[in-house]
């Protein structure tokens, strides 16, 4: 019986670890779940798409090249903006 209990506990711990790792990829804000593999900071977007500066992306946001639904601002993190990671300009 003790072996069975240890096995059950190990399975529960493994399941918990897997769920925690899954949960780390998501950010819950304003009732929305954001997959952090799809949403990145403006600085990270600039690096990934080899742009000259973050101002390029900020200007795209201001001019509507990046649709408003593809930008998410997190007030609790001093207005940090996340952008959906996909190409907006060629």
Give the residue carrying structure tokens 């003790």. 2
Reported pTM: 0.67
Which residue from 74, 70, 73, 72 is spatially nearest to 85, judged by alpha carbons? 70
Helix (H) or strand (E) segment spanning residue 56: helix 54-63
* Mean pLDDT value of segment 58-81: 91
Considering only 18-27, 36-45, 51-60, 63-72, which range has the smallest mean pLDDT? 18-27
pLDDT at 30 over 70: no
pLDDT of residue 29: 64
Q: Mind listing the pLDDT tens digit for each residue in 43-69?
A: 999 999 999 999 999 999 999 999 999
Contact 22, 61 (CB under 8 A): no
């Amino acid at each position: 019986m003790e072996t069975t209990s240890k096995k059950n506990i190990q399975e529960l711990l493994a399941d918990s670890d897997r769920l925690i790792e899954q949960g780390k990829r998501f950010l819950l804000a304003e009732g929305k779940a954001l997959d952090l593999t799809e949403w990145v900071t403006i600085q990270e977007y600039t690096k990934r798409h080899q742009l000259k500066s973050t101002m390029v992306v900020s200007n795209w946001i201001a001019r509507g090249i990046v649709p408003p639904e593809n930008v998410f601002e997190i007030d609790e993190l001093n207005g940090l903006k996340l952008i959906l990671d996909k190409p907006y300009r060629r």
